[in-house]
Chain A
């Protein structure tokens, strides 16, 4: 009993420090697993390819990140695990080995899968609304604001004196 009581705080300290230590170990184990799986997930999408050099590998990664997978349309060719994405990655790799430049590779894909594969849509008659739509909306909004301001300032100059009389009629009903 005596022994137990005296050792109790000690045990608690040991337990706490042990817990902290265990937590630390657990955390590092968890972290390690996450890192391992992150690596696996990444490796699944991009299988190792025999690049000629590191610059070519970077170029490949940069290019495939600019291209959309036709199958999983929210994914880039770099990220997608769809069979067609894998085939297209291989095709791009082969074309790079043949010395094709990025534009030629993009042209090759666009000719088969349309502009859809480009994340950056080119300016054509079909896409001008996409490019200039926001500007049109902005101009429209600016026009509306301008008209509203003019109307208000005009009615303001006419009814400077009557404004106090007008106030009660505006009972806030007008939302």
Chain B
């Protein structure tokens, strides 16, 4: 299966949440990156068949998501984990998955329960499966949510901010799990945590204010900041030039070690060295350039 998004636009009244987005998503992990309010959740909800596009086309395999009947048919091949996920506190983890399995049309009890056991094991919740969800920690709830999304062996999994609120160990476990799942299906991962994308996705799209500003391989985005990523030392009270974006600032004994993105720094700095960029550097560089272009357009 592949997903083709063609000139997709979504309006909420006069507010334009998505502006003529065109992307092709193939099997594997696909990252969706952007600041808050970029339109990521709107795009994911359209892919999850919850929202209807204002214009444009989304083809998920044979399904045209503009058509109501096809959106419904698509749901049998879809797993969705929203950003904000609450649960029914009355149910245990296992009962919750059983209930969701029934809603997803998994009517063969034995097969459904075998799959639930496998999923509980996959997300490392077997021991807590018979506890009420109200007793789960945030990380356990997130993993239970993921298990719910995987019920019914979906071919497309849409996940919104899956690592939000997780401790580092949980995040790593979840990322490993997602990478494994993406071997034979499409996993679309939306986040504003660049590290999650750099550790899991080969391809990504970047949204900013409803516009697609990048679509390609993660290595391409990383390479974009080549020759524009620097490490330098400055005194704590030094004011860095405005055209530099600070990625990190590590206090040393009398100075601060900065990692910055932008043109070669000058001014009150020393020991300036070019460094190999990371995906985060590339992302910041891209957003910076996009902001400058927008500023130019607004001037002219």
A binds B: no
Which A residues are closer than 8 A to B by beta carbons?
none
